[in-house]
Amino acid sequence: MSTRPLTLWRRKRPLRGVFAALATVKRAASKDCGYIGAVVKRVLLAAPRGYCAGVERAVETVERALAQHGAPVYVRKQIVHNSHVVDELSARGAVFVASVEDVPPGGLVVFSAHGIAPAVRTGAASRSLRTIDATCPLVTKVHAEAKRYAAEGHTVVLVGHAGHEEVEGTMGEAPEAIVLVESVTDAEQLEVEDPRRVAYVTQTTLSVDETREIIAVLHRRFPSLHGPEKEDICYATTNRQQAVKELLAHVQFLLVIGSANSSNSQRLVEVARAGGISAELIESDRELDERWLEGVETVGVTSGASAPEVLVEGICEWFRARGVAEIRELSPAEENVVFKLPAELRRPAA
């Protein structure tokens, strides 16, 4: 699969409220902190990192809905996979629910960036709910591909991770025609009704390298395999993995800022470890373990596509408070992708 060129990283607008406190200098932690990793001389930041266009759109969707309609605004599942974002929006009046059944009849509900199955829309309509769809447009593209291939009579192979919300939503588009493949082993063992009529789509937040291997197996086993004209792994996932690969030659340890249920954040840890560099996934500087830094001169830092930049700033302040003066981006890069807000928020309020 091809990767997009990385050009100057554009700092994303941080969330307001409690996150602002993380951006302040932590003066209390100083030279007396007993810093085990005192050998650390520099911190290199990967670029691009953090918020992608789909996450920016989803978070702003909830913020705008609250501004236009007032609280409560219900959100089915986590709007994006980051606990800090969820906590901040909850403090401002968003109510996160597991199902549309948990929303009072007539209530306003926002669907998360990960997409939903058609059955969820049907359930919302049956309760007369007002809905705003914050599904990332790149996920919507995968849904459209899966429906089209299924309508054409193909067995649709979905490469992804079982249980992920994006996978559940995509499979719901044509459950009778879609089969899930999670690994090369799954691809080798896959049996289909007609090997001449097989197509594939992928989750948008997968490992680029691992997915390439799985698709190669599918092409070998099913020579007439159909696939999307443009890869389904999103630009942000691809760019962040490529940025980590470029960082690995310069660091001895990588910190990935993100939540444990963030697929794209987990993939960044895997990329580093596959490249021979130790890596850990943490929510914020509060989870940073100084023992990880023993013998490390250069630490790399990146963040998943649903992690706000203020959390990276908090990590940088943690290192500054412990005497690390050199903190810089390895090579600045820019992403200029922007998605329009859902149509429901662009129309004048009734």
Catalytic residue annotation: 166
User: Is residue 316 within 8 Å of residue 28, measured between CB atoms?
Assistant: no
Q: Which two tokens stand for residue 158?
A: 């979905």
Cis peptide before 72 (omega within 30 of 0): yes
User: Is residue 53 within 8 Å of residue 61, measured between CB atoms?
Assistant: no
User: DSSP states of 255-304 as a string?
Assistant: EEES-TT-HHHHHHHHHHHHTT-EEEEESSGGG--GGGGTT-SEEEEEE-
Q: Chain-centre distance of CA 57, in angstroms?
A: 13
Q: Where are the alpha helices (DSSP H) in the chain?
A: 19-22, 53-69, 83-91, 118-126, 137-151, 165-171, 184-189, 208-221, 235-248, 263-274, 309-320, 343-346
Q: Which two tokens stand for residue 161?
A: 């991770």
Nearest residue to 154 via CA among 182, 139, 172, 176: 176
Rg (CA), the chain: 21
Residues 6+ apart with CB under 8 A from 78: 85, 86, 96, 112, 261
